[in-house]
Amino acid sequence: MQPHEALVRVEAAGLNHAETLIRSGTYVVRLPFPYPLGGEGAGVVVEAGADAAVAAGTRVCWGAVLGSCATLLTAPASLLVPIPDSLTFEDAACVAVAGLTAGGLARVWPLHGRTAVIWGAAGAVGRMLVAILAEQGTDVIGIAGGARVEEVRAAGAACAIDRSSQDVREAVRVHTGGRGADAVFDPIGAPTCAISLDLLAPRGCLIHYGELAGVPPAVDLHQLFAKSLFVTKYNGSRWIHGIDEFAGLIGNALALAATRRAVIARIADRFPLDQAADAYRMLESGAPGKVLVLPNA
Ligand SMILES: NC(=O)c1ccc[n+]([C@@H]2O[C@H](COP(=O)([O-])OP(=O)(O)OC[C@H]3O[C@@H](n4cnc5c(N)ncnc54)[C@H](OP(=O)(O)O)[C@@H]3O)[C@@H](O)[C@H]2O)c1
């Protein structure tokens, strides 16, 4: 262990869709095989290096530390964020990457007093983004499937659309008085891209940040002409300036979760470490909620 590192006993590791994309070998982010599984988790500091600003016994969580699906993990201490007393390890493992991602996404487009549509708004990132934007004074329209629209409202959305029973275009048109939204946050990809462009107001921005249901089609610039639209593919490293900012963004999300539990993703299931492969299969199956591996259960 290096002086700036700490050894952590991992109590809960959160799985993320990006891991599936990276493992496929076809994603823009590539890692040399083999590499250790997991990037997010929560646990207890067992031992701290001489220069690590975290004490043994502290409950912490983190995002972006490879090898989080393990009983013990060595991590840079600067990436370990103290967990508020009112949150469990499982809560924190649901919040870390979602908070980091939503915190970065919220920087992309000026939305105070304006309207944003969020697909997958009951998902881990989606509900956190709903809450952050709503707190910043954005009129948030969240899209979810079935009864999960209630969770989107609880997270802070002014309007929640049930994509399984409502016409999304019509519902957004009605809520915005026909104008459309100033931004659409789309982590779905192939099936939603064209709809997302339709949902935008003139000079609105489509922010793509995931490919849950397949790679989005190439955008023809002529498609953007009528409304003079903007389109961006979110890359966190261009919006979050170095890992020094990670702890602050995750800390903000934990504070939000401590006061509003609705921002914490539902847990789809929990798996012991020796069933991690089944946990990843469940993630890939599109299970509604966060999949956790509990290495020391
Ligand atoms: N770029 C980054 O830095 C970054 C970081 C983290 C995550 N992400 C991406 O963000 C996305 C969400 O991650 P997450 O952890 O929040 O996932 P999640 O908790 O599984 O939530 C995803 C939500 O998407 C909705 N959904 C699934 N298929 C859909 C479809 N065909 N059409 C419309 N909605 C659909 C589902 O909700 P309903 O069925 O209720 O609609 C689901 O709750 C993923 O694509 C992930 O890769 C990106």
| CATH number of the domain that residue 187 is part of | 3.40.50.720
Q: Give the number of the atom of ligand 1 that is nearest the alpha carbon of residue 122.
A: 43
Same domain? For 206 and 273 the reply is no
Mutate which of 17, 132, 151, 269 for ligand 1? The one with the most ligand atoms within 8 Å of its CB, which is 17
Question: Per-residue pLDDT tens for 207-230?
Answer: 999 999 999 999 999 999 999 999
Same domain? For 150 and 87 the reply is no
Q: Say what the pLDDT of residue 189 is.
A: 92
Q: Which of 233, 260, 285 is the last residue of a domain?
A: 233
Q: Say what the pLDDT of residue 24 is.
A: 86
Q: Say what the pLDDT of residue 1 is.
A: 86
Same domain? For 74 and 162 the reply is no
Q: What is the mean pLDDT of residues 155-160?
A: 98
Q: Which of 233, 255, 281 is the last residue of a domain?
A: 233
pLDDT class for 26, splitting at 50, 70, 90?
Answer: confident
Same domain? For 219 and 119 the reply is yes
Question: Per-residue pLDDT tens for 160-187?
Answer: 999 999 999 999 999 999 999 999 999 9
Assigned domain for 43 exists? yes
Helix or strand holding residue 275 (H, E): none
28: pLDDT strictly greater than 90:
no
How much distance in Å is there from the Cα of 255 to the middle of ligand 1? 23
Same domain? For 146 and 258 the reply is no
Q: Say what the pLDDT of residue 212 is.
A: 93
Q: Say what the pLDDT of residue 94 is.
A: 98
Q: What is the mean pLDDT of residues 269-275?
A: 98
Q: Say what the pLDDT of residue 25 is.
A: 84
Question: Per-residue pLDDT tens for 34-54?
Answer: 999 999 999 999 999 999 999
| CATH number of the domain that residue 85 is part of | 3.90.180.10
CB 8 within 8 A of CB 296: no
Q: Say what the pLDDT of residue 285 is.
A: 94
Same domain? For 195 and 252 the reply is no
Mutate which of 27, 118, 212, 233 for ligand 1? The one with the most ligand atoms within 8 Å of its CB, which is 212
Q: Which of 233, 256, 282 is the last residue of a domain?
A: 233
Q: Say what the pLDDT of residue 242 is.
A: 83
Residue holding tokens 């707190």? Answer: 135
**Bridge partners of 159?**
141
Domain tally, the chain: 2
How much distance in Å is there from the Cα of 185 to the middle of ligand 1? 11
Average pLDDT, the chain: 96
How much distance in Å is there from the Cα of 43 to the middle of ligand 1? 25
Q: Say what the pLDDT of residue 29 is.
A: 84
Nearest 10 degrees: Cα torsion 107, 111, 117, 123: 40
Q: What is the mean pLDDT of residues 95-121?
A: 98
Residue range(s) defining the domain that contains residue 27: 5-100+240-294
Reply yes or no: is the peptide bond before residue 34 cis, omega within 30 of 0: yes
How much distance in Å is there from the Cα of 58 to the middle of ligand 1? 31
Q: What is the mean pLDDT of residues 7-30?
A: 92
Same domain? For 160 and 244 the reply is no
Q: Which of 149, 47, 137, 99 is nearest to 263 (CA)?
A: 99
Q: What percent of the chain has pLDDT over 70?
A: 100
Residues with CB under 6 A from ligand 1: 16-18, 97, 101, 119-120, 122-126, 144-145, 148, 163, 187-188, 191-192, 209-213, 234, 236, 265, 286, 288
User: Rounded distance, CA 98 to CA 100, Å?
Assistant: 6
Assigned domain for 105 exists? no
pLDDT class for 114, splitting at 50, 70, 90?
Answer: very high
Model-level pTM greater than 0.85?
yes
